[in-house]
Amino acid sequence: MAKRHVLRGVESGSAVAELGAYCSFVDEHGNALLWLQRIDSIGVNGVHAVVVASVFVRVQMVRIQRTYDLLITRHSLSATENGKRPRLESSVIFHGRRGSLEMDLWHEEARFRGAVCPVFFSRSGEVIVLPGEFPKRSHTHHGCGVLHKLPSLPSVASWIACAGL
């Protein structure tokens, strides 16, 4: 990646029983990206790793109790000429608002972390299916006995576990 323009992503997450947030990055097919730098800290919540790539997909999950918002976006750099700086190009792959998971993954049903994910509905009440590989690929972070996306890939179920999720 040296002497090239790349994207830099910072994986982070934090959770308590009532709320959680998690952000990670995968390749265009939902596969794990290797991290450039793992970041250790005194506490388990916060920044976890840094990734660099020419293209990546960002997965961002926020949870308030049993209600989830999920945003999946694709990011790349435009082609350039004469050494000009490329433009960042971004597009939304999925934006799920107010999804629900009627389980308490912090207490009684903690054994289901990484195995279940929230359900998102359209305005007319139909289930919205997550695109492509994403339903199979992510989610566990709970104050952090974590299954992170970087560098190995657990599922949206694992991301949910990761946003305390």
The confidence score (pLDDT) of residue 155 equals 46
Gap between the Cα atoms of 14 and 95, Å rounded: 20
> Is the model's pTM score more than 0.85?
no
Gap between the Cα atoms of 148 and 41, Å rounded: 15
The confidence score (pLDDT) of residue 57 equals 92
The confidence score (pLDDT) of residue 2 equals 58
The confidence score (pLDDT) of residue 151 equals 47
- Asked if residues 139 and 160 have their Cβ atoms less than 8 Å apart, the reply is yes
List, run by run, the mean pLDDT of 10-residue segments along the chain (165 residues): 79 84 87 81 79 91 89 90 86 90 72 76 88 53 42 45 46
The confidence score (pLDDT) of residue 74 equals 94
The string of DSSP letters for 70-129 reads EEEEEEEE---STTPPPPEEEEEEEEEEEEE--S-TTTTTGGGTTT---BEE-TTSPEEP
Q: Please count the CA atoms within 13 angstroms of the CA of 155 that sit on its side-chain side.
A: 13
Distance of CA 112 to the CA centre of its chain: 18
Cα four-point dihedral sign 97, 156, 164, 100: positive
The confidence score (pLDDT) of residue 148 equals 44
